[in-house]
Structure 1
Amino acid sequence: MDGCVIPLSTGLACGEPVASGAPIDLCHDHLLAAHDWVAGDAGVTDLLPSPCLACGSRLGVRYPSGWMCAICEWRVGAVVDQADVIAVRVDVVYYLRFRDQIKIGTSATPRHRLAAIRHDELLAFERGNRSLEQRRHAQFAAHRLGRSEWFEAHDELLAHIDTLRRGVDDPWQLYALWRSEQLALRG
C-alpha cells in the first residue's frame, strides 16, 4: 500500500504518505496518535525526576497519571516507610577513579559514602562486603599505594573493572536492582 491505512469517517483510508521507517503503514500524524495511546496505556520508560526513595533507581516509567519506579514499582510521591528502606542492606565493593588512581572500598550505603570521597568517576560496583574488599586488596596488592585503599591503575585491575562493567551502563542501576531484589526477597 502506498499510503496510510487508517480509515477516516468517509470510510476511505487516510492515504497520506507513510512515515519514513514506519513499521506499519501509517502516516506521521497517525503514528503520533498511536504512540500517545500506547504511552498512556503502557507508559514511557525514562529517567525519574529524582532517584527512587525506595530503591535508589533512576529508571522510571512515566504515565499520564504520574511516575513509577521501573525497578521496584514505587509510585513517585507516595510515602515511603523509612523502616523498610533502612532495613534493605546491600553491601557493595566500589571502584572509584581519581586522576590515575583507583580506590577499592566497601559500603552498605554507597550514596552517602561516595558523597564523602573525592573522586572523578564511579567505575563499578561488585556485590560483596569487607571480606571481598580485603580479597581484592590482596589480589591487587602489588599496585597498592602505601597502606591505603588506593591503587595504581594497571592492566589487571582495569581488566577486572571491565569485567564488572560488562553489560552495565550505570553502576547505580545495578545497585538499584540489587536493592529491589532484597526488597522482593523480604516479601
Structure 2
Amino acid sequence: MTHTPAPTRVADDEGRRCHRDATMSRPVALCHAHGIEVATAIVPELLREHLAAALRGGATAPTARAELVATVRAATVDDLLKGVHDSIVYFIANGGRVKIGYTTNLKSRLGSLALRNDAVLLALHGGPELERALHSHFAEHRNGNTEWFELAPAIFRFIAAQHPQPVASRRASATRPRQRGHADPLFERARALGRPASLRTLQRELGIGQKRAQRLQRLTRGD
C-alpha cells in the first residue's frame, strides 16, 4: 500500500509547528483554523481595495469620456495631408461605414486603406484616449470589435457639429432653394461616399433607383 505523507503545515501556534491536519494544500498547506485566520486577515483588505478601485472607475471614467468627447477640437484636414503631424483622431468614410481611429500620418493611413483624400469626413486633435471615448460614445453603431461604425444619423450630426459647412457648399446653397440641399435623408450618406460618386455606386451603396441616384449626384456636386 502506498503511503501519502501529510503536507507540511506552514503555520505556527506561538512558535511551534501547527500539529493539526491540513485541510488545504494549495497554495500552501494549512489546517482549517489557520485557513480561517488567514482569510479574515487578508480578504477584507482585498475587498476594500477592489471596492475602492471599482468606485473610482465607475464614478469617473464615463464622466471623463463624456467630457473628452464634448470638448474636442477639429483639425484642418488639408494641413494634415502634408506628412507627419501631431496625433489626431479621424473619421474616414468607405461605403456606408466610417472608420474612427487615430494616427500621426493621415496621408499614409489613407494610402493603406486605398481611399482618396475626400474620404476624410473629420479630423480631431487627440490620440488613443479620445479614440476610446468616441468608440464608447458610438458603441451601438460599432461593427463588432473593429474601428468601423455604421454611418448612423448620430455620427452624421456629430461630424456636422465639429466644423462649418465648406465655402463651396455654402455658395451652392445660396443659389438654390434651401430644401433641395438637405431635404433628402440620404444626402449625407451620398456625400460620405466621396464626391462625385458614380450613379452605380450611389445605387449599390444606398439601395436606390437611378432617378434618385441622379438627384443625389446633382446635390453632392452642387448643381
Q: TM-score range by the shorter chain?
A: 0.3 to 0.5
Q: TM-score, normalised by structure 2?
A: 0.36
Structure showing greater radius of gyration is: 2
Q: TM-score, normalised by structure 1?
A: 0.42
Q: Which is richer in helix?
A: 2
